[in-house]
Structure 1
Amino acid sequence: MEKKKLDELVETLDSLYLNNKSEQVARLSCGGAIELCKAVWRGDIQNGMAIIRPPGHHAEADRARGFCLYNNVAVAARCLQRDENVKKIMVLDWDIHHGNGIQDIFFDDPDILYISIHRYDGGNFYPYSSDADMDVVGGEHAKGRNINIPWPCGGMGDAEYIYTFNRIILPIAYEFAPDIVIVAAGFDASKDDLLGGCKVSPACFGHMTHMLKSLSGGKLALILEGGYNVEATANAMTACVSVLLNESPPKLKSLSPMDSAYETIQEVTRIQSHYWDSLAPVYMKPCNGI
């Protein structure tokens, strides 16, 4: 397309940038995710990270949006199901935005566990949809296979993310017992990423990666998603890759989660305890951030 026509097309779309090479580059990006996941599954490598652009988790089955043309993680997971006969796949999305596309594609698939930690802000944070709320739990044949952990505001950091891992993500993951884990690894929750408005340190990303290595015999693939501060993204990715290379994650400070995060986790636990035996619906009022 001529540039003028291309620019006119972009104006009709939701948060996309396009040039004449975009489709070709998007296929290369998606192919990188596929090849990494297959290499990890086949045992050619223990784990790995796909450093690719454009990202993918906002792209739906029939709609490109949010800087995403093809849904890299979703396509890679489908290829594992189709080509490698993988039975159970866990997809964890720690990008600060809800992965509406991944949720949409796998909403009624009981063999895909999708967990998203994201800012929600009452539906006022991109992609601006109530589908990102905690009561969206999956389709008729996949109740509980969709788990949204929606932060009500910004400012969430290491304490809130580690607490979420220990309270919800790891118990469910062990119960689901995935054959492979794929991370939609956006780094816009980083403490220096102003767009995300959260405070997750590189060390925390390293710890989350370390915890995920205990699943599925260590078969773990990280797929790059969002990130709007190049230095913050690079530092967080370095921490993750160091852990993948069997270095120990650095120590974290002893912190208590904010009350608003605590209350969110309590409510997600209540909802998901209908579908997961590992979640005991225990309710306590937050006290001094505990």
Structure 2
Amino acid sequence: MANSYNSIYLNNLSAFCARLSCGSLIELCKAVALGQVLNGVAIIRPPGHHAEPDEAGGFCLYNNVAIAARYLQKAHGLQKIFILDWDVHHGNGTQTAFYDDPNVVYCSIHRFDHGAFYPGDPVAAAHTAIGEGAGRGRTINIPWNSSGMGDSEYIYAFDKVIMPILYEFAPDFVLVSAGFDAAKGDHIGQMLVTPAAYGHMTHMLKSLAGGKIILALEGGYNLDSIAVSGLACAKALLNDPIEPLGSIVPNALCVQTIHEVIEVQSRYWKSLPQVYTDPIEEPVVGRHVVGMNKMMEAYRKSYLKERYDMIPMAKLESETGPAFLDNVHCT
């Protein structure tokens, strides 16, 4: 049976362990929702974010975080849920579960490698996957096309995309699919995120939703990296001091990726720089889009007038048309 799925391993206790893992997260969510504890970390396995609504996959039998989000909505009336997935792999199952849901924002920051990195979907894991129907803009993918991304790149993504959207969305609850396979030392993820960065990311997240935040363990293949990274997150939740970070200087590939994400997502989030410039596909009412050619035309006109006292040539009937004549200036 296991061989019929994608990367699934089973024994006679797998079903029980999967229910125990998912149930433990639900119990922790219940405690936080009722105010019995402020926040928490669910140290659970098997993980969940690769499990589709109707199929297991990627070591995941039940999608723990997705089920917990639905539980919080139905049992406690906490409608607006923000799910951040910082596991190095894209959480395809969680994205599928909420792809058309306007009340759940799913944000994944993952290694992509142009679709070659597991789960290997060049469409669903790309930055252009934004949700559908009422859920458009509620799926946010930040896909790295290279290994070696570290503290600067992850903190830059937080500053430029994740935190602005979080403050605008103002969730009732924050769930983190906290895989630690992007941690420094993990041989599968091959990323360089330090425990200090995980601590700072957790600290930023807990400023939302009145501090109601839960981290649920997902992937990770180096036990030492998982231990020290998870400890840093727990310290941040307990308001213990966090190790300082070095200077934040993201690499060029990171900056390019973040710019591409903002280009797509700025259409749906006012907190992002408004750089969406596709006036053809479903134009946004009330937003005036100006083409770069028009901007350059206005600049040239102003510059030539001030510097050389030149003005545009009077329009004439011509086969070349006005597009050419509008760029002819004379004294």
| TM-score calculated relative to the size of structure 2 | 0.82
What residue identity is the alignment partner of 2:254?
Answer: A
| Counterpart position of 1:286 | none
Checking the alignment, whether the CA contact within 8 Å between 2:200 and 2:242 is kept in structure 1 is: yes
Distance 2:33 2:260 in 1: 35
What's the counterpart of residue 195 of structure 2?
202
Identity of aligned residues (%): 57
Other-structure match for 2:178: 185
Give 2:258's match in structure 1, choosing from 250, 261, 265. Answer: 265
| 2:222 maps to 1:229 | yes
Aligned positions of 1:135-284 closer than 5 A: 135-281=128-274
User: Which of 21, 26, 34 is residue 34 of structure 1 equivalent to?
Assistant: 26
Secondary structure at 1:150 match in 2: strand
Q: Deviations over 1:37-89 (max 9, x none)?
A: 12111111000000000000000100000000000000000111111111100
DSSP-derived class of the 1:159 partner: helix
Counterpart of 2:131 in structure 1: which amino acid?
G
| Unaligned segments of structure 2, at least 5 residues | 277-331
Task: Describe how 1:66-145 pairs up with structure 2 within 5 A.
Answer: 66-129=58-121, 130-145=123-138
Letter in structure 2 aligned against 1:182: L
Residue type at the aligned position of 2:82: M
Give the whole-Å Cα distance in 2 for the aligned partners of 1:281 and 1:269: 8
Equivalents in 2 of 1:184, 1:11: separation in Å? 26
Aligned length: 275
Task: State the structure with more CA Rg.
Answer: 2
Cα distance between partner residues in 2 of 1:13 and 1:70: 13
Q: Structure with the greater relative contact order (CA < 8 A, sep ≥ 6): 1 or 2?
A: 1
Distance 1:190 1:178 in 2: 27
Q: Distance in 2 between matches of 1:87 and 1:255?
A: 35
Q: CA deviation at 1:282?
A: 5.8
Unaligned ranges ≥5, structure 1:
1-8, 284-290
Tell me how large the CA RMSD over aligned residues is: 1.0
> Which whole-Å CA distance do the structure 1 matches of 2:224 and 2:250 have between them?
26
TM-score, normalised to structure 1's length? 0.93
Q: Does the 8 Å CA contact 2:8/2:59 hold for their aligned counterparts?
A: yes
Cross-structure match for 1:25: 17
